[in-house]
Amino acid sequence: MNKQIFLATNNKGKLAEYREILAPMGFVIYSPKDLNIDLDVEETGTTYRENSFLKANAFRKIVPFPVLSDDSGLEIDALNNFPGLFSSRFAESCGGYPQAYEELFRRLEGKDRSAHFRCCICYVESPDAKPLYFEGICPGRILNAPSGDHGFGYDPIFHCDEIDQDFGLVDEATKNKYSHRAKALQKLKLFFAI
């Protein structure tokens, strides 16, 4: 099996997590930056699957490796799963993550704070191959104030139920065992092992 894989993301946090999880299996992960590719795929899909496919498919046409893409988001129960698909765009529209945290705290005042991260990975082996999808969920809740600065995105306001710890305080290796991304990647690893 070809152990060189392209990850269709410009998100440094995601890239670091894929490398940490897949490197022990001998995979070498290339990013758009490694291949000097400047392509920003518009996420026009209405589901994580659609968006992950749009990204994987756009890059698979131009790179010589199998492609993985990752569409993910934070879903807050009391906000009807908002920001969800718009997680990244919501933070941008607020002017950055610290402002997005404050806005979410404001919207959650007096409400239940249950939430989960969701991740959908799309794998496209060759330009004419059928896309394969691997999904993972990480349940938890939104904290009352930011805690720690580890991870990326919404990690500093997320408490992970499974380990009863704040993602902003745990080390990379711990997050990479229990996160939504780790769970989706676990399924991908099983597929690769077959």
- Of 65 and 154, the one with the shorter C-beta distance to ligand IMP is 154
Residue at 157: amino acid letter: I
Q: Contact, 92 vs 83, CB < 8 A? A: no
- Of 72 and 165, the one with the shorter C-beta distance to ligand IMP is 72
DSSP letter for each residue of 96-140? SHHHHHHHHHHHHTTS--EEEEEEEEEEE-STTSPPEEEEEEEEE
Positions annotated as catalytic residues are 71
DSSP category for residue 2: -
**Sole binder of ligand IMP in the list 30, 82, 133, 152 (CB under 6 A):** 152
Question: By beta-carbon distance, which residue lies closest to ligand IMP?
Answer: 153
Does position 18 bind ligand IMP by CB under 6 A?
no
- Of 26 and 96, the one with the shorter C-beta distance to ligand IMP is 96
**Sole binder of ligand IMP in the list 27, 117, 123, 178 (CB under 6 A):** 117
Q: Contact, 8 vs 59, CB < 8 A? A: yes
- Measured N-to-C along each axis, helices 87-94 and 97-108 cross at an angle, to the nearest 10 degrees, of 100
Does position 151 bind ligand IMP by CB under 6 A?
yes
Q: How far is the CB of 3 from ligand IMP (least distance, A)?
A: 24
Q: How far is the CB of 86 from ligand IMP (least distance, A)?
A: 8
Mask 52-91, x = binds ligand IMP (CB under 6 A)? ------------------xxxxx------------xx--x
Burial (0-12, 13-18, 19+ Cβ within 10 Å), 46: exposed
**What residues numbered 121-150 form the site for ligand IMP, per CB under 6 A?**
none
- Measured in whole angstroms, the distance separating CA 176 from the mean position of its chain's CA atoms is 11
Q: At 57, which helix (H) or strand (E)?
A: helix 48-60
* Interacting residues with ligand IMP (CB under 6 A): 11, 43, 70-74, 87-88, 91, 117, 151-155, 179, 181
